[in-house]
């Protein structure tokens, strides 16, 4: 018989919230499964075609070209699998200095093909080296959710604007995700962070429309002692801004993100 004290209602709520967060993380990957599979099919096609070319042609120049293309395709596949594994498995509760552009880069590796398939463009703005003390996996989960939401809010040809800003005067490191989609009606704006409240229906694959994504985003930001702000204009688009506790670059680390 266990001597552990019985769980309180607060303990049970915390356990359920953690389980819900993990489920939402895996759901985000599931929403991208089709586009990621399509990307891997393209990679395999590249590898096979250039391998055949290398077999057929014996001259060094052609073989060097084939090897270079195969290597490039393999590195692309490695980045995708590494990103997926890190995103789906990382459940650490540590808060460490992280460069926000790098976190954004890792998320974009996973969503890039999905955005391309829906003809959504991406614009990047802001500072090249912005550090925050965060749980990297949780912040990536928020960014993934906001970018997928932005894509779903737009028709083909839309654009997502990603901005990273350093705000040392107020002690914040900031990331914003903006779209030029349908926008959110003002009377619904105050409710979008409520659990199970949603402004859209699930799509044909059952993705979206649960009303849990933004509620979890707010919970994560609050656990970081940060802020999340939303601005929206019907017919013009929506902007979400994350404000996270700013951190200096770790001593001895040379940032090469702008190189």
Give the model confidence (pLDDT) of 215-228 as tens digits.
888 888 998 999 99
| Collapsed DSSP state (helix, strand, coil) of residue 175 | strand
The CA distance from 35 to 203, in Å, is 15
- 18 versus 233: the higher-pLDDT residue is 233
Output the pLDDT for position 45. 86
% of the chain residues with pLDDT over 90: 34
Q: Domains in the chain, start-ordered, CATH in brackets?
A: 94-245 (3.30.565.10)
* Cross-sheet strand order for the sheet of 172-179: 121-126, 159-167, 172-179, 237-245, 227-233
Examine the pLDDT at 97 and tell me if it is beyond 90: yes
Mean pLDDT (the chain) is 81
Lowest mean pLDDT among 4-18, 110-124, 192-206: 192-206
Tokens of 59: 């001259």
Examine the pLDDT at 16 and tell me if it is beyond 70: no
User: What's the pLDDT band for 76 if we cut at 50, 70, 90?
Assistant: confident
- 7 versus 25: the higher-pLDDT residue is 7
Examine the pLDDT at 256 and tell me if it is beyond 60: no
Q: For residue 138, how many other CB atoms are within 10 A of its CB?
A: 23
Examine the pLDDT at 203 and tell me if it is beyond 60: no
Instruction: Report CA dihedral (222, 169, 127, 165) to the nearest 10 degrees.
Output: 30
Predicted TM-score of the model (pTM)? 0.70
Work out the average pLDDT over 102-126: 91
Lowest mean pLDDT among 52-61, 78-87, 174-183: 78-87
User: What's the pLDDT band for 46 if we cut at 50, 70, 90?
Assistant: confident
The CA distance from 164 to 112, in Å, is 18
Query: How distant, in Å, are the alpha carbons of 183, 191, 201 from that of 187?
Result: 12, 8, 18
Work out the average pLDDT over 49-68: 89
User: What's the pLDDT band for 250 if we cut at 50, 70, 90?
Assistant: confident
- 206 versus 28: the higher-pLDDT residue is 28
- 15 versus 168: the higher-pLDDT residue is 168
Phi, psi of 160 (to 5 degrees): -110, 135
The CA distance from 185 to 234, in Å, is 6
User: What's the pLDDT band for 213 if we cut at 50, 70, 90?
Assistant: confident
Q: For residue 68, how many other CB atoms are within 10 A of its CB?
A: 11
- 21 versus 247: the higher-pLDDT residue is 247
Phi, psi of 161 (to 5 degrees): -110, 120
């Amino acid at each position: 018989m266990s001597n552990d004290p019985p769980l309180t209602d607060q303990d049970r709520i915390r356990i359920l919230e953690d389980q819900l967060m993990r489920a939402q993380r895996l759901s985000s990957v599931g929403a991208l499964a089709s586009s990621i599979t399509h990307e891997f099919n393209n990679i395999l096609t590249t590898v096979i075609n250039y391998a055949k070319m290398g077999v057929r042609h014996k001259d060094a120049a052609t073989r060097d070209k084939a090897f270079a293309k195969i290597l490039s395709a393999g590195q692309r596949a490695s980045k995708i699998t590494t990103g997926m594994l890190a995103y789906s498995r990382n459940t650490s509760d540590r808060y460490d200095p992280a460069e926000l552009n790098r976190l954004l880069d890792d998320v974009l590796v996973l969503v890039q093909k999905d955005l391309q398939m829906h003809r959504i463009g991406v614009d990047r703005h802001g500072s090249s080296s912005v550090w925050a003390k965060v749980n990297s996996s949780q912040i990536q989960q928020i960014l993934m959710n906001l970018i997928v939401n932005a894509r779903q809010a737009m028709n083909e040809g839309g654009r997502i604007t990603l901005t990273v800003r350093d705000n040392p005067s107020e002690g914040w490191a900031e990331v914003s995700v903006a779209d030029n989609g349908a926008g959110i009606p003002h009377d619904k704006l105050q409710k979008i962070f409520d659990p199970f409240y949603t402004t859209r229906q699930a799509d044909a694959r059952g993705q979206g429309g649960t009303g849990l994504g933004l509620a979890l985003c707010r919970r994560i930001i609050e656990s970081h002692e940060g802020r999340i702000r939303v601005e929206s204009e019907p017919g013009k688009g929506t902007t979400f801004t994350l404000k996270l506790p700013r951190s200096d670059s770790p001593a001895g680390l040379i940032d090469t993100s702008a190189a």
